[in-house]
Each structure stands twice: as C-alpha cells, then as structure tokens.
C-alpha cells in the first residue's frame, strides 16, 4: 500500500487519502510551489542524494545501530511466549541526539541549493531547533528558531545548545506558549520574508510538500532498520513501534514497512493525565478532522472548531495536530495508534535507564510504555513469540530537569545513598 505518489509525479498534490493538501495564505503559495519543484527535481537527483547521504554517513553518524533489549524483554515477558526479541533503533546516537538531524541536514542542503539566504524553524522539545542550528552552522547560513516560552523553560539545555551553535532563539509568549504557537509565529515570519527565507519544518505536518519531504528525509530510519532486521534475524519484525506527536520519527521508520502486510505498525501518542481528561495530546485517539498549519488532518478542537490546548510532559509530543499521512494510516487500518500517560512515560524512562543503560527522551519513553498493549494486540491477532522494533527517537539529556523534579523524590525515599 502506497500512501502517496512519488515526488517526481506532477500529480502529487500532497494528499494521503482525504488528508493533507495545502491550506495557506495566497502569499505562501509561490514559495510552496517553488519548494515542490525542488522536491520533484533537486531532491531525487543523483547529486543531491550523494551529498545528503554522504553527510548522513560522515557527519550524522549513520547507520545507527540496532540494539537488542534483552533485559527489557525479560521484564515484559519472562517466558518469551509473547515476545521472543526486542530491538531498539538507536536514533538517540545520531549527532545532536535525535532523529531530527536527518531531516534538518537534508532541508538546509535543499534550501542552499534553492539559493535561500536565511533559515527559520520551529521547535518544541528543542531537538529540531538544535538540528537546524547545527545544519545552518555547517553550511554557513543564519538561523532563527521559534520556541514557546514554556518549552524554553523546560528545555533549557537545548536552548543553550542552539545559542552556542549561533542560532537566535525567539521565545513565543502567545497561546499555550508551546509548539503550536511556535509554528504559528514561524509561519507569520515566512509570509513576511518569503522571497529570501526558507522555513525548515521539523515534523511530517504542515502544507504540501512538507509531509512528503520530511517523510522521505526520515525514511532512512526504516530503510536501515529493515535491512538490519533481515540481517540479524532473517525475517521482518512482527511490529514496529514509535511515538507520535507531529509524526516524523514514526513515519520515517514506518514508511519502508507500509507495503509489508505482515508487519504491524503502532504509533503511540501522549496521553498526558489521561485521555478521559482534557489534559492530553492524543490527537488521533481523541481528535476530529480539521485544518491546522496548512493541512487537513486530525486536530484537538472543541465543537466550534477552536483548537484545544494539548498537554504532555514531553515537549515534542505537546501538539494538537498530527501529520496527514498518519491520519490516513489510521483511517485505512494500516496502523494502530495507542496512547501512554505522563506517569507511564516517566516509569518507562526509569525502567530503560536501569535495565539497559540508556537514558531515553520523554517522547520516546511513550513508545516503551505502550509495549504491554502492543503485545496484547499482537497476541489477539495470533502472533506469539513476536519480534518487535521500537524507534528510540532521541536521548533524555534534555529532559533531566523534568526527570529530576519528578523522579528524585522517589529515589530519595528509597533509602539509597552514601559517599561518592
């Protein structure tokens, strides 16, 4: 099953079933058409692909490893009857610490070839901001990053990294002061400076061609994972699991498996304080169809169509929309979307740190937290002794402030301590 036509196909207007499209101000249409031409003509060219993939190897550090998670497998299924092997695709080991650099280095290279003199971006968790600032430093282009005030406070390490890389970080004080509002301000900037500025979108969302472009820059994750699994196990996995906010890491690992009917795809959204409350960011689980940031997809909104402010302990999942390709994967039944709460994600960070020696980003931890429900679904479908791959989309250094605040009381009460 192919969700959309190829970038070289002139009929591709960015629809995935009924979702996607381009719902923007007229002033942005020429810029999007210019980007669409670059996506069709420059992106697939041998010259671009050679340079971009060379940078992925020599600068980003690809391919990333596929790590076997034996101690977590035993925790989840001691008998091995439900889960025979658990693997982690280690995007946390990319340069800058997350999958975002795959997309940023590709888009900034594309912008340079298009002759753009200035790069802007939005960021929530800060990883896309860091990745874009990194790419701009590498290519010698100025960079400005929009970030909600709330995220600036809770992601201070990434703010410092962006500034060290030479980027200007613009704190957004409107709305919920999170990712949605940062994207709003970035789009306003782009409208004003469209002739000279390239907007480097960090997720598989927004107006066409961004969802397709970001997917094709991130699908290297799934291409590698597919080849690595075949090499290690001799077969494809039973399931691939990834967290979903806007959806770039998930669509990146899903894309090369979409046509493999035997591989179940599971996206995990932020359940916040619970999907039965109004404090979550589970757009596909609890949202409705609408238009946000230039594309038709699922959104969190009230009966009047007004956007509801999302909530998640993870800044990267704290978004009231989702990429349109994920909406179509859910509608078609090709992918299943679950949710995990803040508390479940925190517990998963602690479990993986203590059992595997890996400090996960809070975003990624949602995927691990949902694994018992993934195994339940696989068993219900008659799949025992499953092989499961989880995309470890980023590392948790950026979340240490939140983790220390939320987990330290538990550590202190355990009675552990002593001289060091």
Q: How many residues does the chain have?
A: 420
Residue for token pair 């025979």? 84
| Closest to 217 measured CA to CA, from 31, 49, 58 | 49
Residue for token pair 């179509």? 328
Please answer whether residues 77 and 153 qualify as being in contact, where contact means their C-beta atoms are separated by less than 8 angstroms.
Answer: no
| Cα(175)–Cα(195) distance, integer angstroms | 28
For residue 349, the surrounding DSSP H or E stretch is helix 342-356
**Signed CA dihedral, 252, 294, 189, 191: sign only:** positive
Number of Cβ within 10 Å of residue 292's Cβ equals 24
For residue 34, what are its two tokens? Answer: 């210019």
The residues that are catalytic are 100, 122, 393
DSSP string, 191-214: HHTTTTEEEE--SS-SSTTHHHHH
| Cα(9)–Cα(16) distance, integer angstroms | 14
Number of Cβ within 10 Å of residue 86's Cβ equals 27
| Cα(87)–Cα(64) distance, integer angstroms | 13
Give the 3-state secondary structure percentages of the chain, helix then strand then coil, rounded to 5. 45, 20, 35
How many whole angstroms from its chain centre is CA 165? 22
């Amino acid at each position: 099953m192919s969700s959309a036509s190829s970038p070289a196909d002139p009929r591709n207007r960015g629809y995935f079933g009924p979702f996607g499209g381009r719902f923007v101000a007229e002033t942005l249409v020429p810029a999007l058409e210019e980007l669409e031409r670059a996506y069709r003509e420059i992106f697939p060219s041998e010259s671009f692909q050679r340079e971009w993939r060379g940078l992925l190897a020599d600068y980003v550090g690809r391919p990333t490893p596929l790590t076997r998670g034996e101690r977590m497998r035993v925790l989840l299924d001691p008998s091995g009857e439900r889960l025979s092997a658990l693997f982690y695709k280690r995007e946390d080991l990319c340069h800058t610490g997350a999958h975002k650099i795959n997309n940023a280095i590709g888009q900034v290279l594309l912008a340079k070839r298009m002759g753009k003199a200035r790069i802007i971006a939005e960021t929530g968790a800060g990883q896309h901001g860091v990745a874009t600032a990194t790419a701009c430093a590498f290519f010698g282009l100025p960079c400005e990053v929009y970030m909600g005030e709330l995220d600036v406070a809770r992601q201070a390490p990434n703010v410092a990294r962006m500034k060290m890389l030479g980027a200007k970080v613009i704190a957004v004080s409107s709305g919920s002061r999170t990712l949605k509002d940062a994207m709003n301000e970035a789009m306003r900037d782009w409208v004003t400076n469209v002739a000279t500025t390239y907007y480097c979108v960090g997720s598989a969302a927004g107006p066409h061609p961004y969802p397709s472009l970001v997917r094709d820059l991130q699908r290297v994750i799934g291409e590698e994972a597919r080849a690595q699994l075949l090499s290690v196990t001799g077969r494809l996995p039973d399931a691939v699991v990834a967290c979903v906010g806007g959806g770039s890491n998930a669509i990146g690992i899903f894309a090369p498996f979409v046509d493999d009917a035997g591989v179940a795809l599971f996206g995990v959204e932020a359940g916040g304080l619970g999907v039965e409350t109004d404090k979550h960011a589970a757009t596909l689980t609890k949202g409705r169809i609408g238009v946000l940031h230039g594309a038709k997809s699922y959104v969190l909104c009230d009966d009047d169509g007004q956007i509801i402010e999302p909530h998640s302990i993870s800044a990267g999942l704290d978004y009231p929309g989702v990429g349109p390709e994920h909406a179509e994967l859910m509608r078609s039944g090709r992918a299943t979307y679950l949710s995990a709460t803040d508390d479940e994600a925190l517990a998963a960070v602690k479990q993986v740190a203590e059992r595997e020696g890996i400090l996960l980003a809070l975003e990624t931890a949602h995927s691990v937290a949902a694994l018992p429900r993934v195994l339940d679904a696989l068993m219900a479908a008659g799949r025992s002794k499953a092989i499961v791959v989880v995309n470890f989309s980023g590392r948790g250094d950026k979340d240490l402030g939140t983790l220390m605040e939320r987990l330290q009381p538990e550590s202190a009460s355990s009675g552990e301590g002593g001289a060091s």
